[in-house]
Amino acid sequence: NDSGRRPRGALIAFEGGDRCGKTTQCSKIVEHLRSTGVDAVMWRFPDRSTSIGQSINAYLAEQSHMDDAVIHMLFVANRLEKRDEMLRLLAGGTTLVLDRYSYSGVAYTAAKGVPYLSMEYCKSLEVLLPAADLVVHMTMTPESMAARGGYGEERYEKVEFQSKVMAAFEALRDERWAVIDASGTIDDIHEQVTSIVEPVVRCAHNGCALGRLWD
């Protein structure tokens, strides 16, 4: 990096169905990156701490009901309200590890099969946001996710719906996605994640450009 600017951070999103271990792997990779001197932080979407996030939380906990288009736009707005901070951190050299991002937004709503909330329409609402440099897609069968602790507590945690979410994620894949079998041990998965993430962080530090969704 000879431009005199600080090298930017990488934007890395973990995606997958509910209870597949994303949060555990996000924490572990952030801890690992920090131990090697990389400035990294973990964020979760939805960010339930904002007022929009609290409405989303009530919806997910089935304490409120909302029109499918409205809840979809709240998820989008919950990313947009973090956009400036996200861009500022990346430009300042911080790597952001996201536990879900726009890809979940598109996949979960498209999986509902509401005709006017098509995948193309959902994608169009995300275009103001940066694309992840890497999407780590953690996959396992909906049946094995259902066998994990806590499953079924929130809206969407149903085997049939999760199969549709999985199919929607598959339709979104491109060359920036890495697919990881989430049924292995925490340490094995972490080792695979590390080998995929490290080169992407180096690429960002070396100045490769941040993209826009879905260019």
The Cα diameter of the chain in Å comes to 53
Among the listed residues 8, 28, 82, 100, the single contact to ligand NYM using CB under 6 A: 100
**CA-based end-to-end distance of the chain:** 24
Quick one: 45 or 169, whose CB is closer to ligand NYM? 45
CA nearest 166: which of 134, 142, 148?
142
- Interface segment toward ligand NYM; rule CB under 6 A; list 103-111, 119-127, 136-144, 170-178: 103-111
Which residues touch 64 (CB under 8 Å, ≥6 apart)? 55, 58
Q: Among candidates 153, 157, 166, 121, which has minimal Cα distance to 15?
A: 166
Residue nearest to ligand NYM (CB): 105
If the CB atoms of residues 78 and 95 are measured against ligand NYM, the closer one turns out to be 78
Using CB under 6 A, pick the residue from 25, 55, 95, 104 that binds ligand NYM: 104
> Measured between alpha carbons, how far is 31 from 40 in angstroms, rounded to an integer?
8
Contacts of 115 (CB under 8 A, 6+ apart): none
Residue 99 C-beta: closest distance to ligand NYM, Å: 6
* Piece of the chain touching ligand NYM by CB under 6 A; list 100-108, 112-120, 169-177, 202-210: 100-108
Cα pseudo-dihedral 66, 164, 46, 180, rounded to 10: 180
Residue 181: CB minimum distance to ligand NYM, A: 19
Name residues contacting ligand NYM, limited to 5-64 (CB under 6 A). 18, 45-46, 60
156 forms part of the interface with ligand NYM (CB under 6 A): yes
Residue ranges that bind ligand NYM, judged by CB under 6 A: 18, 45-46, 60, 75, 100, 104-105, 108, 154, 156
